[in-house]
């Protein structure tokens, strides 16, 4: 026996080297995971902001844009001429993630037989003939936030002579 050094004598050094190498690798992984998470959060935040900015495109030809969200209607009042043809572009600016109504909103006027519904983050154009006699009507959304009883989910249609 001439060899005095055990074959695995330098094992601790190898282990130490491996341990030194490991954290760097894990740090890289952690950075990657954090980066992906941060990017996902940024995208989610942008999506939320985007829902507030919708819609950005031009309104449908000859239509009045009415935006509906959990906060109410915008505008919440409209004046039309008696007997006139009215086009309304109804838009829901809410996402489907809303637990109350799933982003759906409604514009209903019982007296005029109007009951229009629009899905999350979408627009739809509706047409109707204004009544021939002047008056005021209340429109409402019965889908979200307590439905018809909720004063913020209402609007006023004024029909003038
Ligand atoms: Cu609603």
Q: What would the mean pLDDT of 123-141 be, rounded to a whole number?
A: 96
Q: Structural domain boundaries of the chain?
A: 10-53, 63-160
CATH class in words for 63-160: mainly beta
| Separation between Cα atoms, residue 69 and residue 44, nearest integer Å | 18
Q: Residues 58-88: pLDDT tens digits?
A: 788 889 999 999 999 999 999 999 999 999 9
Q: Residues 100-123: pLDDT tens digits?
A: 899 999 999 999 999 999 999 999
Q: What's the gap in Å between 124 CA and the centre of ligand 1? A: 15
**pTM greater than 0.75:** no
Q: What's the gap in Å between 153 CA and the centre of ligand 1? A: 6
Three-class secondary structure of residue 15 per DSSP: helix
Q: What's the gap in Å between 126 CA and the centre of ligand 1? A: 17
CA contacts within 13 A on the Cβ side of 118: 24
């Amino acid at each position: 026996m001439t060899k005095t050094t055990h074959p695995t004598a330098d094992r601790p050094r190898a282990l130490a080297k491996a341990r030194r190498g490991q954290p760097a690798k894990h740090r890289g992984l952690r950075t990657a995971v954090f980066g992906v998470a941060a990017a996902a959060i940024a995208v989610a935040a942008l999506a939320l902001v985007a829902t507030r900015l919708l819609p950005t495109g031009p309104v449908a030809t000859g239509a009045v844009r009415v935006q509906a969200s959990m906060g109410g209607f915008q505008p919440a009042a409209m004046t039309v001429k008696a007997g006139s043809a009215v086009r309304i572009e109804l838009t829901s600016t809410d996402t489907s993630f809303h637990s109350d109504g799933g982003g759906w909103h409604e514009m209903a006027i019982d007296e005029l037989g109007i009951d229009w519904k629009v899905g999350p983050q979408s627009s739809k154009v509706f047409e109707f003939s204004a009544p021939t006699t002047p008056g005021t009507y209340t429109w409402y959304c019965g889908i979200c936030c307590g439905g018809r009883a909720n004063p913020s989910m209402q609007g006023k249609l004024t029909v003038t002579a």
